[in-house]
């Protein structure tokens, strides 16, 4: 028997008001928050992407909520395939990459870096690639080898992508070439 919160997630839509509503319900109740994480990590559920939409909003407001779930997140991040889930998951990776309060283990950091690199070289949507580029740039501050790798990928793929991709690539290449 599913909870009413679970049903609300299942019935949510991509509209901002709907996602904000799920976000507020999760942030106001620790059981709902646990359920949101469980739903987002349950890739066998056909609606897991709806939980990912709300999870992105929750973690944008309070990234520290992910701390008890870091292992699950980093172990699951590379397995997401649904485009509607991958975009918010990539944004969460970006949030983690720029955080001063989230301490990743070497393994967790490596998992996020590898996944972001995979998103860049695979046929992902532009928003996912943009968040991956920004996350990798942030990780490169601690892992200098990423800079050269990222430069090569951005320069190589630049001409074959959209204006949105090119804008992010130009911004990050400028920072990498300083």
- DSSP labels for 128-167? HHHHHHHHHHHHTTT-THHHHHHHHHHHHHGGGS-HHHHH
CA nearest to 121, candidates 143, 141, 136, 104: 136
Whether the predicted pLDDT of 136 surpasses 90 = yes
pLDDT digits (tens, 9 = 90+) for 34-66: 999 999 999 999 999 999 999 999 999 999 999
CA nearest to 133, candidates 175, 71, 81: 175
Query: CB within 8 A of 22, min separation 6: which ones?
Result: 8, 9, 12, 36, 50, 51, 53, 54, 57
pLDDT digits (tens, 9 = 90+) for 102-111: 999 999 999 9
178 — pLDDT class (breaks 50, 70, 90): confident
Q: How many CB atoms lie within 10 A of CB 107?
A: 11
CA nearest to 24, candidates 38, 45, 9: 9
> pTM (2 decimals)?
0.95
Whether the predicted pLDDT of 16 surpasses 80 = yes
70 — pLDDT class (breaks 50, 70, 90): very high
174 — pLDDT class (breaks 50, 70, 90): very high
Contact (CB, 8 A) for 74 and 111? yes
Contact (CB, 8 A) for 98 and 138? yes
Whether the predicted pLDDT of 150 surpasses 80 = yes
Separation of CA 143 from chain center: 19
């Amino acid at each position: 028997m599913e909870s009413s919160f679970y049903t609300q997630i299942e019935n949510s839509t991509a509209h901002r008001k709907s996602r904000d509503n799920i976000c507020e319900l999760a942030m106001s109740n620790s059981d709902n928050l646990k359920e949101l994480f469980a739903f987002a990590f349950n890739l066998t559920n056909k609606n897991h992407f709806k939980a990912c939409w709300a999870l992105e909003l929750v973690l944008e407001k309070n990234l520290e909520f992910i701390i008890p779930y870091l292992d699950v997140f980093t172990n699951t991040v590379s397995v997401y395939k649904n485009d509607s889930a991958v975009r918010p998951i990539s944004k969460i990776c970006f949030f983690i990459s720029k955080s001063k309060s989230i301490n990743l283990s070497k393994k967790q950091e490596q998992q996020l870096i590898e996944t972001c690199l995979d998103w860049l070289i695979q046929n992902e949507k532009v928003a996912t690639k943009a968040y991956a580029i920004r996350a990798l740039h942030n990780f490169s501050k601690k892992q200098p080898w990423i800079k050269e790798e990222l430069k090569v990928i951005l320069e190589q793929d630049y001409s074959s992508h959209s204006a949105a991709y090119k804008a992010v690539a130009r911004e990050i290449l400028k920072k990498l070439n300083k």
